[in-house]
Amino acid sequence: MENPLIPPLNFSMAAPGIYRSGYPNSMNHAFMKKLRLKTILYLCPEEYSESNTAWCETNGVRVVQCGILPNKEPFQFIPDDVVADALRVLLDRRNHPVLMHCNSGKHRSGVVIGSMRKMQQWSLTSIFDEYRRFAGSKVRILDQQFIELFRVDTVKYDKRCAPRWLK
Residues serving a catalytic function are 102
Query: For residue 95, which phi and psi values (nearest 5 degrees)?
Result: -90, -5
| C-alpha to C-alpha distance for 117 and 157, rounded to whole angstroms | 15
153: left (phi over 0), alpha (psi -120 to 50) or beta: alpha
Neighbouring C-alpha atoms within 13 Å toward the C-beta of 4: 5
